[in-house]
Structure 1
């Protein structure tokens, strides 16, 4: 808790010491139309700090396994990130993101496939530690069309760009920085917390245990369309801390986006496919091996080089000046183990996001989402016989069912750049187990940025 007064002090000092054009001060949309183009930045420094305190009460728990969610617990996570960027030449941006992390998710980030906090990594530690989460170069090549204003933000220098353009990003960054974005549900520091709310649950995107990968992404913008492609290193072992080098195990991503207007209101539709290539196991192979050798289930024994595919769709649509609608749906190959994200073979979500203009709090946000996550029959057999997944595994699964999640949050702007959020989640059949739950989870989130 003592970090946040310090963060506020640092923010105030930076704002006084750095010219206004170098910090990420938000510009109202109405002001952007009348104001002159911003001065192009050559460098910038931004920062953020986020604290999440999350707890779960009592729920039915007749048995438990190694990856089960435990009743009656309270956990916290904190991260503080610096976004340091410079423009080495025209059209280029070089960014590094050193970050200090500390804390644990509920049950050490286990027990729910749609895990309730995307601020909780798969590696929890009681003492703060430093990591370089991102280090990447972005090159924008203009192809003409109208000129667009680019506002200053974390990992984005202010300036202008062509509407039609090619953007190449290379280095270490998040697959979700480029793919499966959504204006209403994509930022656990500002909107929804659930893993399967901020990303499509079945999108088994390449990542280390902290959610970042090394690779390259290329985006082609032309009018209302954008085509994206990416090549990324998978982790060396499923759910691992270390990434491959040289794309020995890799992911290919492709996404087509169309931006549109309905009754004058902006919206977008995205179709994304992924192809993972590496050493994976089929669930039925792992079961057969364990039975034949009289050993516990271990998918490592039956991993061999194969391909896992998935596809999903992502929609966002503004309905009024303050209300937005969004939805996602996805499907992945449920015969093969998920690799780097979570234990979800199919998913669907529908939600609403409401800005607080109607009650004279325009910077506040209220969000509501419903999510249904599912797994294949082979995946259910694997868990029922004692197999462990990326996040779930109760030791048995005699009464499987879809994991159903409802999340509601309210984010209030206390001062400019500092938000306080309350978040509640109701999880039915956590880990696809109808014998467990339902679990009611509440969270307090503090977020400071400059």
Structure 2
């Protein structure tokens, strides 16, 4: 299957590279489903096709897309024992392929409907278990051998201008490249919570930046999602260029790491609020974001798991419980072509994590370097680290042999999990990038008895 994956990835890269306009040096947001057309069509690999995209947009239609192929493997590592959710200690490799076709239509002034149709296939290492900061955010916990079609995004958005002044904003999921400086934005439908919350210029997109889950988003914040990473709900945003305030309500999974969302929207839900502050330090842009989230789901407290039995991990048989989440997210340009980021995240640790990954405290930080500094416009280099910890309740559960949806070796010699990640993303042609990625996982799944684990990856990404 790996040979088939290579052929599918190469074919998708070729087709989208033919269509694509000039590649962007910056990421396009979480799970970049496309690239907004910037600059004249003549800069594209095939100008006539880029010109067609521009003409369609002038008529109120959007057609954009992407393909990302990732081949990732780990070497042998020390592991005196393994459990049901352990990273396999033998050398192995897996690959993933994701493709998106985004179709949009302008309805009336400021309103647009967006549908993202996706086809994916492949698996993460050890079927995406064994590391809390799992090393490939493109790897769903529900992998597939054959191509699988689904619709990750289908939403209606209304933007209301509160000022006549405009600012540049090349969002690949929006029409045009400018927005009113002060505006209200309403979104309703199926989305990723990360489309709106926890954004970061330097670390928020596994298709163009870091691959690790906790470098794409705040590791200890249990973001609402199904097993593929998507949810349904609505959000309201206010921006004025210096401040931003965002709030939303979303559906949660019916079971731990479940594919289906809870049908009882009044009992199972997540609400998130975020305040953004945009500023300049030494005339260089920066931002700080503070997030709070409260989720309520059929999740158990650690004491309830002791009483009801570990078999009830998938769903509390008796009641819904709540979880409080916090995150602080910062980015800052340090010099021309050099940016830094950091995230701190926390949840109350009373209950099991339900949807994202199994961390209760996390700290991440890193640097990104633009290739313009060495005359390679379109290239990017990144270096980052994430440290993750768990609560005493989760530690007790895992020491007793408990298995989570991503961690659990059957035994535990507890230590904080740390992952160092670096990548070089090379622009091959307009709209086509190839990246080499390396990670070192120390104490995988919080277990000092196992590892360290070197992990290597190649990523081919193209977008139009």
TM-score by length of 2: 0.89
Cα displacement (A) at 1:162? 1.4
Match of 2:198 in 1: 180
**Matches of 2:261 and 2:312, distance apart in 1:** 25
Match of 1:34 in 2: none
Name structure 2 gaps, 5 residues minimum. Answer: 1-5, 22-33, 44-53
Match of 2:454 in 1: 440
**Matches of 1:245 and 1:318, distance apart in 2:** 44
Match of 2:257 in 1: 239
Match of 2:272 in 1: 253
Match of 2:422 in 1: 408
Cα distance change, pair 27–269 in 1 and its aligned pair in 2 (3 A): farther
The structure showing larger relative contact order (alpha-carbon pairs under 8 Å, at least 6 residues apart) is 2
Does structure 2 conserve the Cα–Cα contact (< 8 Å) formed by 1:254 and 1:273?
A: yes
Cα distance change, pair 144–54 in 1 and its aligned pair in 2 (3 A): same
In the alignment, does 2:16 pair up with 1:11?
yes
Match of 2:433 in 1: 419
**Matches of 2:11 and 2:391, distance apart in 1:** 48
SS of residue matched to 2:377: strand
**Matches of 2:332 and 2:180, distance apart in 1:** 24
Cα distance change, pair 23–444 in 1 and its aligned pair in 2 (3 A): closer
Cα distance change, pair 91–286 in 1 and its aligned pair in 2 (3 A): same
In the alignment, does 2:91 pair up with 1:79?
no
**Superposition RMSD in Å:** 2.1
**Matches of 1:317 and 1:23, distance apart in 2:** 23
Does structure 2 conserve the Cα–Cα contact (< 8 Å) formed by 1:422 and 1:444?
A: yes
Does structure 2 conserve the Cα–Cα contact (< 8 Å) formed by 1:341 and 1:390?
A: no
Name structure 1 gaps, 5 residues minimum. Answer: 17-21, 32-37
**Matches of 1:264 and 1:11, distance apart in 2:** 37
**Matches of 1:15 and 1:69, distance apart in 2:** 37
Cα distance change, pair 273–12 in 1 and its aligned pair in 2 (3 A): closer
1:251-292 deviations in Å (ceiling 9; x for gaps): 0000000000000000000000100012210112212343xx
In the alignment, does 2:354 pair up with 1:339?
yes
Cα displacement (A) at 1:370? 1.0
**Matches of 1:433 and 1:23, distance apart in 2:** 40
In the alignment, does 2:36 pair up with 1:24?
yes
In the alignment, does 2:301 pair up with 1:282?
yes
Cα displacement (A) at 1:159? 4.9
Does structure 2 conserve the Cα–Cα contact (< 8 Å) formed by 1:23 and 1:44?
A: no
Q: Which runs of 4+ in 1 moved over 2 A?
A: 1-16, 22-28, 38-41, 148-151, 295-303
Equivalences for residues 54-65 of structure 1 within 5 A: 54-65=72-83
Cα displacement (A) at 1:322? 0.3
1:105-157 deviations in Å (ceiling 9; x for gaps): 00100001100000100101111110011101111001115222443x53121
Does structure 2 conserve the Cα–Cα contact (< 8 Å) formed by 1:84 and 1:155?
A: no
TM-score by length of 1: 0.91
Cα distance change, pair 10–223 in 1 and its aligned pair in 2 (3 A): closer
Equivalences for residues 291-370 of structure 1 within 5 A: 298=313, 300=315, 304-370=319-385
Cα displacement (A) at 1:44? 1.3
Match of 2:222 in 1: 204
SS of residue matched to 2:298: strand
Does structure 2 conserve the Cα–Cα contact (< 8 Å) formed by 1:49 and 1:81?
A: yes
Cα displacement (A) at 1:302? 5.5
Does structure 2 conserve the Cα–Cα contact (< 8 Å) formed by 1:284 and 1:382?
A: no
Does structure 2 conserve the Cα–Cα contact (< 8 Å) formed by 1:66 and 1:394?
A: yes
Match of 2:88 in 1: 70
Match of 2:30 in 1: none
Provide the aligned length of Structure 1 versus Structure 2.
431
1:182-210 deviations in Å (ceiling 9; x for gaps): 00000000000000001000111110111
Cα displacement (A) at 1:89? 0.9
Does structure 1 conserve the Cα–Cα contact (< 8 Å) formed by 2:168 and 2:179?
A: yes
**Matches of 2:174 and 2:311, distance apart in 1:** 49
SS of residue matched to 1:383: helix
SS of residue matched to 2:378: strand
Cα displacement (A) at 1:320? 1.1
